[in-house]
Amino acid sequence: MEASLKKNLLKVLVELEAAVQSMPSASPKPDLLPLFARIDALAKQLPRDTDPALLHYLQKKSHAKARLFLQGRDAENQAGNCRHVN
């Protein structure tokens, strides 16, 4: 269950990234609210023993960092304003 949940979460995060990247040339602009709602709904389903770094990224709406984490690329994440690093 958790693996498929994380896979679905990664899929939506990739969709969000693609939608954001298309914004400068897209007309009309894509509606990102449904993607944010899906991410929030999936994040709420994660078990309590989920890696704290992933939970932190999702709570702080650091969607790019959450995507990198789920892709096994957390080492590429930079410290944010809160100074949280893997």
Tokens standing for residue 9: 């979460």
Q: Is residue 84 part of a domain?
A: no
**Residue indicated by tokens 């709570």:** 59
Amino acid at 54: L
Q: How far apart are CA 33 and CA 83, in angstroms?
A: 27
pTM, two decimals, is 0.84
Q: State the pLDDT at residue 25.
A: 84
| Digitized pLDDT (tens) for each residue of the chain, 86 residues in all | 688 999 999 999 999 999 999 888 878 888 999 999 999 999 999 999 999 999 999 999 999 999 999 999 998 988 766 666 54
- Overall number of domains in the chain: 1
Q: Is residue 85 part of a domain?
A: no
- Give the Å distances, CA to CA, from 10 to 26, 55, 82: 23, 13, 23
Q: State the pLDDT at residue 1.
A: 60
Domain extent for 58: 2-22+31-76
If we measure between CA atoms, which residue out of 16, 4, 6, 81 comes closest to residue 51? Answer: 6
